[in-house]
Amino acid sequence: MSVKKEANGRRSVQVEVEVPGTPEQVWEAIATGPGVGAWFVPTEIDGRIGGTETTHFGGGMDSVSTITEWDAPHRYVKEGSWGPNAPTIATEWLVEARGGGTCIVRVVHSLFAETDDWDNQLTGVESGWPTFFRILRLYLEHFPGQPSSQIQLMAMPVASASGAWEKLADALNLAGAAPGERRDASDGAPPLSGIVDSVKPAEALLRVDLPAPGTLFAAAVPAGKMAWVTAGFYFYGDTAAAVVARDEPAWTQWMTNLFPA
């Protein structure tokens, strides 16, 4: 991964993924609030030029952007900022139809700067998309257009990422997991069962069937002298909201017990 630098000062990164669905189905997933919330984080999108997109990352961290271009179901562009002294960040989303009932989704982040000061932020954003794009692929493959609800668990223990992941993976019974295996959460966790979709160092993606159809993404990454630990549940179908309302308190307490503040 690298930042593309142009003579006029534009710096950009891009990430793409091939997903199942028509352009209209894929657009619904990347350019509407309910669609984005089904695989990323809770979002509201006012789909028009001059409209706003508000993304809720939790803990009071919201990102607000203004839509500057809108060409459904193929392309839109939004502009925002990482802070009061940061350059304007333009984010372009594109959907391109491919043969065999699939589409390419491409996201491009760009800014103008005379120095490398913001390159790390660009590559950090770039490195995060592949994980969420795997969740997007599962959503479009198995649950397109279904109602969704999510549980987002986070902790920041004073530990290495590898040590935090070992603890999280043991508690979820994901230690040593391989794609295609069925795994049930360990004793002490709320009921959870599913098939392992993919595994990388210190992260795993599970296609869940208990307590409801959905996905679970779990990971631990370095954060200075601490680790940032996350477990994100995405549930789908008519029972998704009820399952979240019932189980979120238990999962929140479980995470607090696992990684005390």
pLDDT in tens, 20-70: 999 999 999 999 999 999 999 999 999 999 999 999 987 778 999 999 999
Give burial (CB, 10 Å; 0-12/13-18/19+) of 121: middle
pLDDT(1) > 60: no
Give the Cα separation of 130 and 1 in Å (integer): 12
| Pairing mode, strands 88-98 and 4-5 | unpaired
Structure token digits, residue 4: 């593309």
CA diameter of the chain: 57
Report all structural domains of the chain as residue ranges with CATH numbers, in order of start.
Answer: 4-142 (3.30.530.20), 148-258 (3.30.530.20)
Query: What would the mean pLDDT of 106-123 be, rounded to a whole number?
Result: 89
Average pLDDT over all residues of the chain = 94
Give the Cα separation of 15 and 21 in Å (integer): 19
Q: Categorize the per-residue pLDDT at 155 as very low, low, confident or very high, splitting at 50, 70 and 90.
A: very high
Q: Categorize the per-residue pLDDT at 222 as very low, low, confident or very high, splitting at 50, 70 and 90.
A: very high
